[in-house]
Structure 1
Amino acid sequence: MCEVYPPSEDTFLLLEALEKEGIKDKECLEIGVGSGVITEFLAENNNVDGIDINPKAIEITKNKCKNCRIFYSDLFSDVKKKYDVIIFNPPYVPEERRFDSIFDRSWHGGKNGREVIDKFLDQFDSFLDNGGKMYLLHSSLCDPKKTLRILKEKGFKTETLKSKKLFFEELTVIKSERDSNIKGD
């Protein structure tokens, strides 16, 4: 049985988008490090913190990324600073049943796939520095229009960096940054 979320189509799409962005010399936070692929990539040119709720994911990523700070946090529960860049590939698969295992929580997005996404959207801007950017992997299974509406209401402009159609869904990478035409906090 898998102990951490393995690199998958969504991981690689997010990685491609981040490679194209050329993020350098930034303070970065990856939420849900999983196998550590994204954190390891970002650590080549940035200061990176990575968080997860899965102790095995934390252990694996710490071993891959010796110069990163990897620690337990349920979303932002144990995050104490602001970042230039926040990256999140959230659990988004809609599922009525509740799952208790840590591994299942890496993909299970709740009844409509938005349970974790909505909590993240409520909190992330408090941990994003002025001029910071947020990158979110999103699935067509969990109402991306709602996410875009929430981001706009919070004063963020958005851009779709990459997308990929799969058999039963379309994955997109959304980049968000504060709209300079809208007064923020």
Structure 2
Amino acid sequence: MYRPQADTWLLAEALATAGVPTGAKVLDFCTGSGAVAVAAAQCGASDVMAVDVSVRAAVSAWLNGQLRRLPIRVARGGLDVARRSGPYDVVVANPPYVPVAEPNSGAGSRAWDGGPTGRSVVDPLCEVMPELLRPGGFALIVHSEVTGLARTVDQLRQTGLKAATVARARIPFGPVMERESSNLRAQRLIEPGQSWEEVVVIRGDRPA
């Protein structure tokens, strides 16, 4: 399960200032612990669907919603599950985004392993975003700049959404980024000796 970290809180802060409509239907994709789903409900959403492939994450998100008596529904699965319950007024996502040189089968690796480019989940998510959003809806996606900020913005724009970066923060490498630092240097995604990453939140708006 993905525990709340700096990117979680950056996404939650961006959501709090994004103007969630009262009574909105929200998708929290790759919900992890459900922290952003909770934030969405506290922003005034009346229906929050929290989706994750991890059983532990789904249970955690459900418990966090139940303990706070918030309108959070939980489903285990991927984009197929998310699409069946849509469309949504707001989509928030903290997908796995770390570029990984070799697949890792260890416990919890699905929470951060984004494949060789870090985009194994980000790319499919961007492709279906217009289908997930109602007209006038918006999406917030958080990921590291090493995953390709410009590519995410371009992909969302190519689907007809307006897209731009709305938040960013520089944070020290955690254990996963430290482990992958030699791979990132080899791909020229970070500088020699770099021990921090810039995490960004990208917003995509579907025209009304």
Q: Answer yes or no: same fold by TM over 0.5.
A: yes
Among 10, 13, 18, the alignment partner of 1:21 is 18
Moved more, 49-58 or 116-125: 116-125
Per the normalisation by structure 2, the TM-score is: 0.80
> Are the counterparts in 1 of residues 29 and 93 from structure 2 also a CA contact under 8 Å?
yes
Among 164, 170, 173, the alignment partner of 2:198 is 170
User: Relative to total residues, which structure has the larger helix share, 1 or 2?
Assistant: 2
Moved more, 95-104 or 163-172: 95-104
Q: Which runs of 4+ in 1 moved over 2 A?
A: 75-79, 99-102
> Are the counterparts in 1 of residues 41 and 48 from structure 2 also a CA contact under 8 Å?
yes
Gaps of 5+ in 2: 173-195
> Is 1:114 aligned to residue 124 of structure 2?
no
Q: Report the residue type matching 1:177 in the other structure.
A: D
| Cα distance in 2 for residues equivalent to 1:60 and 1:82 | 24
> Are the counterparts in 2 of residues 72 and 78 from structure 1 also a CA contact under 8 Å?
no
Among 111, 116, 124, the alignment partner of 2:129 is 124
Three-state SS of the structure 1 residue aligned to 2:80 is coil
Correspondences of 1:1-185 after superposition (within 5 Å): 4-23=1-20, 24-44=22-42, 45-46=44-45, 47-66=47-66, 67-77=71-81, 79-80=83-84, 81-101=86-106, 103-167=108-172, 168-179=196-207
Superposed CA RMSD: 1.6
Per the normalisation by structure 1, the TM-score is: 0.89
> Are the counterparts in 2 of residues 53 and 102 from structure 1 also a CA contact under 8 Å?
no
2:180: which partner in 1?
none
Map Cα deviations across residues 71-99 of structure 1 (whole Å, 9 max, x no partner): 11212345312101111011110002112
Map Cα deviations across residues 29-62 of structure 1 (whole Å, 9 max, x no partner): 0001111111111122211011000111111111
| Cα distance in 1 for residues equivalent to 2:139 and 2:82 | 19
**Deviation of 1:162 (Å):** 1.0
